């Protein structure tokens, strides 16, 4: 009987019309010339530039399924994907889930022509063997989606908004010549829930909400796929279902207790840990001068007659935690504040009905301190578990253990975590130093960094106007510059966060930098300048390695003899510019040469408004080989308004009262007991105004 069942199963699979291994029977596409079958694999191939995305569609519908396929992409710098639960959209597009393929996107989940990025972590990228065969698995059951690459779990998303059924399609992305091979192993309908060596319970524990970023701009003008330009709020993150923020991404990758949340599980044995009196700062109780992650655990006993009924949830009070936390009860996350600036916020977390049980119950708190004192540091009276008229005090001895240090969390990823410098950067441009020029994709987020010159350029909007009008689809431009920024120092207020956090908060996909002119006036040698520049780019590489480096511009003669003549430094400017050019080649970035720019200045250094218009035109010409934008007061006014809103949101003048060291004063807090502070919510409300302003910009460009 066993052999008969195996025979019938094999026969059923052989008869599956999904792919016969010989030809493309059962498959169709708008560009059949790109597709063929060789040695049992479906081949997508082009020796010339592909003008638009092309898809090969299977006629077999899928809903709950497991799909196993081996994929080989050459060169690895190109881009492809596997659509599932999808349907054709327009003349040559797809709408639905895409399991992404290609350098810097392997193993990520994207919603083609729709919602954009859904799971944009890089877990699968680490397992990829470039230019070789890679085993790709997709498991979709109900509203749960998982993928794995070479046995490493890549995507784990619960997505109630997603499509429940559709088709599978294979993609060749637009761009330079490429070959992608899909060696299909099997398609299983209504499969068991198991993947990457994990059972259903373990896979469910990995699920997170999708980024689910709705488009903040009108539909793409070209009909090609849109990417997210949405800004992550800085404000309150106190929900048990809150999206994973920046600190948590680094903690999850590095902190030992956060690996599969081992130290949060109720069954974890913490008896070997030391104890610490709570409340108090841990620097005074066994961890002097420590910055980073510290775990606290405590087991409480709840009598049978105290346990809240299902209709009466309990409330966990942990006072003030310095600085950030995530808290679990019996392994269930009940809340957390995962952005800096909440060290004066009382933690009051609802415990869902059914989480607590009679007898032993475990509370685990992961504290992240990024400077000064840290720990469970509020008043003793505020440490309690409350249910109805009953409460259990929680002050006293807690077990504790140090996790990852701040230095470990902020260190650039190891070579195994990110692609090495010098790898092809074709997603920025298919031919960065050739004739293809600068290539942006639909919905790109371009972050522009630098000092005062870039800051003023962003206020005026000339460069953004060039970038916006040159693309047949929406892009998003974000200013992350700051007056007096250099590669040596970037002064920010307390709790502002790192440059990497800023890039991650805006979902940056391209980074444009201009540094060097002010550094020329410093006495440090060019080698030291480049070393600091390289360190800065390494710190930002986890978000994007797609970089444009703008060289420093030469100084002009002052308009009056009463101002210093800085042109004597121009030889040194040229030296720094050549060094930046070499750095760009080293990192496979694009380089913009400003050595021939002779802009209009007010003092030999500061550009006038016409000078900024010149600067933007030179940059745009070198990036795109053409300058299409001509001065348009209405468009510039809309861009200037959007960037003013962005600056009000990103760096408000009352920073100390909102996120800094003045949060405890009366005017900074909500006067109602237990209510969240209103300042952060007001600033997060500006995000919608920014999105509206971007919509107005795109409407104006489309005219």
pLDDT of 213 over the 70 cut: no
Rounded Cα distance between 173 and 81, Å, is 8
Q: How is residue 71 written in tokens?
A: 């994929």
Quick check: 245 and 232 in contact, CB under 8 A? yes
pLDDT at position 674 is 64
pLDDT at position 438 is 61
pLDDT in tens, 168-202: 999 998 878 899 999 999 999 999 999 999 998 88
Rounded Cα distance between 593 and 413, Å, is 30
Q: Find the Cα–Cα–Cα–Cα dihedral 119, 124, 126, 130, rounded to 10°.
A: -120
Through-space distance between the first and last CA atoms of the chain, rounded to whole angstroms = 71
User: Residue 547, SS3?
Assistant: strand
Share of the chain above pLDDT 90, in %: 46
Q: What is the mean pLDDT of residues 499-512?
A: 89
pLDDT of 103 over the 50 cut: yes
User: Residue 489, SS3?
Assistant: coil
Rounded Cα distance between 236 and 347, Å, is 12
Pairing of strands 510-514, 547-550: parallel
Residue position matching structure tokens 């060094």: 579
Rounded Cα distance between 693 and 684, Å, is 15
Instruction: Work out the burial of residue 331: count CB atoms within 10 Å of its CB; fewer than 13 is exposed, 13-18 middle, 19 or more buried.
Output: middle
Lowest mean pLDDT segment, chosen from 157-166, 197-206, 243-252, 590-599: 243-252
Lowest mean pLDDT segment, chosen from 262-271, 375-384, 403-412, 687-696: 403-412
Rounded Cα distance between 400 and 363, Å, is 12
Quick check: 636 and 461 in contact, CB under 8 A? yes
Q: What are 368's strand-pairing partners?
A: 293, 324
pLDDT in tens, 621-676: 888 765 656 677 899 999 999 999 999 999 998 888 888 878 878 777 777 766 67
Q: H or E segment at 401?
A: strand 396-405
Rounded Cα distance between 676 and 664, Å, is 13
For 2-205, CATH gives: 2.60.120.560
Share of the chain above pLDDT 70, in %: 86
Is residue 253 very low, low, confident or very high in pLDDT (cuts 50, 70, 90)?
confident
Rounded Cα distance between 50 and 35, Å, is 13
pLDDT in tens, 351-360: 887 888 889 9
Would 2-205 and 246-410 be classified into the same CATH topology? yes
Could you tell me the sign of the dihedral formed by the alpha carbons of 604, 610, 613, 614, in that order? negative
Pairing of strands 383-387, 390-393: antiparallel
Quick check: 662 and 668 in contact, CB under 8 A? yes
Q: H or E segment at 60?
A: strand 54-62
pLDDT at position 673 is 67
Q: How is residue 575 written in tokens?
A: 């030296």
Nearest to 169, CA basis, from 99, 105, 114: 99
Q: What are 156's strand-pairing partners?
A: 146
pLDDT at position 78 is 87
pLDDT at position 5 is 38
Q: H or E segment at 537?
A: helix 526-540
pLDDT at position 312 is 62
Q: What is the mean pLDDT of residues 388-406?
A: 89
Q: Give the C-alpha distances (Å, rounded to integers) separating 420 from 75, 126, 218, 423, 587.
A: 16, 12, 37, 6, 9
For 246-410, CATH gives: 2.60.120.260
Write down the mean pLDDT value for the chain.
83
Q: What are 297's strand-pairing partners?
A: 364, 399
pLDDT at position 414 is 46
Question: In the 8-state DSSP scheme, what is residue 245?
Answer: -
pLDDT at position 222 is 35
What class has domain 445-702? Answer: alpha beta
Sequence ranges of the domains in the chain: 2-205, 246-410, 445-702
pLDDT at position 588 is 83
């Amino acid at each position: 009987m066993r052999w008969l069942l195996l025979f019938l199963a094999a026969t059923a699979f052989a008869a599956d019309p999904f792919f016969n291994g010989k030809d493309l029977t059962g498959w169709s596409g708008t560009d059949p010339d790109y597709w063929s079958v060789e040695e049992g694999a479906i081949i997508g191939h082009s020796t010339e530039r592909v003008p638009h995305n092309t898809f090969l569609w299977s006629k077999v519908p899928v809903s709950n399924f497991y799909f196993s396929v081996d994929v080989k992409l050459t060169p690895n710098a190109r881009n492809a994907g596997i659509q599932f639960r999808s349907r054709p959209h327009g003349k040559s597009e797809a709408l639905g889930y895409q399991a992404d393929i290609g350098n810097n996107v392997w193993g990520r989940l994207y919603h083609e022509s729709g919602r954009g990025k859904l799971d944009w972590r890089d877990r699968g990228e680490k397992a990829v063997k470039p230019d070789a065969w890679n085993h790709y698995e997709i498991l979709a059951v109900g509203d749960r989606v998982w993928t794995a690459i070479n046995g490493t779990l890549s995507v784990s998303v619960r997505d109630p908004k997603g499509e429940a059924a559709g088709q599978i399609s294979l993609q060749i992305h637009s761009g330079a010549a490429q070959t992608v091979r899909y060696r299909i192993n099997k398609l299983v309908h209504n499969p068991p829930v198991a993947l990457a060596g994990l059972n259903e319970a373990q896979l469910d524990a990995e699920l997170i909400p999708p980024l689910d970023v709705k488009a903040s701009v009108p539909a793409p003008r070209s009909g090609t796929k849109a990417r997210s330009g949405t800004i992550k709020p800085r404000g309150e993150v106190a929900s048990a279902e809150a999206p994973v923020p920046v600190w948590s991404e680094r903690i999850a990758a590095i902190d030992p207790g956060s690996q599969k949340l081992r130290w949060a599980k109720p069954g974890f044995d913490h008896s070997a840990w030391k104890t610490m009196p709570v409340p108090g700062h841990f620097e005074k109780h066994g961890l002097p001068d420590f910055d980073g992650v510290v775990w606290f655990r405590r087991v409480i006993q709840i009598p049978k007659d105290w346990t809240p009924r299902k209709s009466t949830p309990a409330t966990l009070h942990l006072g003030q935690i310095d600085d950030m936390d995530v808290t679990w009860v019996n392994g269930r996350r009940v809340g957390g504040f995962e952005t800096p600036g909440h060290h004066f916020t009382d933690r009051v977390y609802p415990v869902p009905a059914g989480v607590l049980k009679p007898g032993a119950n475990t509370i685990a708190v992961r504290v992240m301190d990024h400077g000064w004192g840290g720990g469970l540091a509020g008043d003793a009276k505020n440490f309690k578990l409350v249910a109805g008229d009953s409460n259990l005090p929680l002050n006293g001895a807690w077990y504790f253990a140090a996790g990852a240090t701040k230095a470990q969390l902020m260190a650039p990823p190891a070579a195994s975590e990110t692609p090495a410098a010098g790898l092809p950067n074709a997603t920025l441009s298919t031919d960065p130093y050739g004739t293809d020029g600068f290539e942006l994709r639909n919905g790109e987020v371009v972050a522009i960094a630098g000092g005062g010159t870039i800051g003023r350029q962003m206020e005026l909007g000339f460069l953004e106007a060039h970038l916006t009008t040159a693309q047949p689809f929406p892009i998003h431009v974000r200013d992350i510059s700051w007056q007096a920024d250099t590669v040596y120092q970037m002064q920010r207020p307390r709790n502002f966060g790192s440059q990497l956090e800023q890039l991650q908060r805006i979902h940056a996909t391209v980074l444009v930098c201009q540094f060097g002119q002010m550094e020329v006036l410093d006495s440090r040698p060019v080698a030291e300048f480049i070393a600091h520049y390289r360190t800065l780019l390494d710190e930002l590489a986890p978000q994007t390695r797609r970089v444009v480096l703008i060289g420093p511009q030469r100084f002009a003669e002052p308009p009056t003899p009463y101002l210093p003549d800085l042109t004597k430094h121009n030889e040194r400017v040229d030296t720094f510019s050549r060094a930046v050019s070499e750095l760009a080649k080293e990192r496979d970035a694009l380089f913009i040469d400003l050595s021939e720019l002779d802009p209009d200045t007010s003092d030999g250094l500061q550009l006038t408004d016409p000078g900024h218009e010149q600067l933007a035109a030179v940059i745009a010409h070198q990036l795109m080989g053409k300058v299409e934008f001509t001065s348009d007061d209405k468009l510039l006014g809309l861009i200037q308004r959007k960037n003013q809103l962005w600056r009000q949101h990103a760096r408000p003048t009352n920073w100390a009262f909102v996120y800094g060291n003045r949060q405890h004063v009366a005017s900074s807090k909500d006067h109602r007991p237990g209510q969240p502070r209103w300042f952060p919510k007001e600033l997060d409300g500006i995000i919608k105004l920014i999105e509206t302003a971007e919509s107005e910009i795109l409407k104006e460009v489309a005219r």
